Amino acid sequence: MERFKNEAFTDFSELGEATAYEAGLAKARSRFGEEIPLVLDGEQIQTTKRILSHDPGHSDRVIATCSKADETHLERAFQAAQERFSTWQYTPVSQRAEIAFKVAKLMRRDRHELSALMTYEVGKTWAEADGDTAEAIDFQDFYAREALRWGGHHPLTPYPTVDNELRCILFGIGAGISPWIFPLAILSGMTTVAWVAGHMVIV
């Protein structure tokens, strides 16, 4: 495996990259007004209470309408997370890391689409949005490598008649709440670091 290195930022002075970003913006515009469901235990749920995501540059423009969770949904999510944790914690670290590597690959493929959505949804410039996406990719790659490192064998100081072993203990369920200023990078980082280590995350 190659050593970790940060994802390079996009050079928008290259015509091909600028054209690709414009295509990402067009695809984001085609999805304006999309209804985003809650996802609980694999089930998509539309609720009557909604959260409207507005374009800060055009406040009358609705980017998406998101279903809003209540306490009942949260309790159901918690119960599902507890149930899934009972098996996920025993999933080999190599399999968990492989998922993160695949997510990084998909993010690279859809990089400009992810960034373009942030341009509309939180008003990020092309470079700022691209940096956010690059950092999200970094988190997938970095935490996958860290999970493999911590999940592997750790040499300890030998002592006669004693078998020493270092083993990481899992705690269970965490929550991820992303700040609006880094909607992809921070959310990606705070959730990936948990699930790739064998925990559950409610987002």
Per-residue pLDDT tens over the stretch 175-199: 888 888 899 999 999 999 999 999 9
Q: What CATH number is given to the structural domain containing 148?
A: 3.40.605.10
Residue 123 lies in a domain: yes
Q: DSSP assignment of the chain, as one string?
A: -PPP-PPPPP-TTSHHHHHHHHHHHHHHHHTTTEEEPEEETTEEE--SSEEEEEETTEEEEEEEEEEPP-HHHHHHHHHHHHHHHHHHTTS-HHHHHHHHHHHHHHHHHTHHHHHHHHHHHS---HHHHHHHHHHHHHHHHHHHHHHHHHTS------BTTB----------EEE----TTSTTHHHHHHHHHHHTTT-EEE-
Q: How many domains does the chain have?
A: 1
Residue 87 lies in a domain: yes
Residue 9 lies in a domain: no
Residue 156 lies in a domain: yes
Examine the pLDDT at 128 and tell me if it is beyond 90: yes
Minimum mean pLDDT among 19-28, 40-49, 117-126, 173-182: which range? 173-182
Residue 96 lies in a domain: yes
pLDDT tens, residue by residue, 17-30: 999 999 999 999 99
**Domain around 164:** 70-202
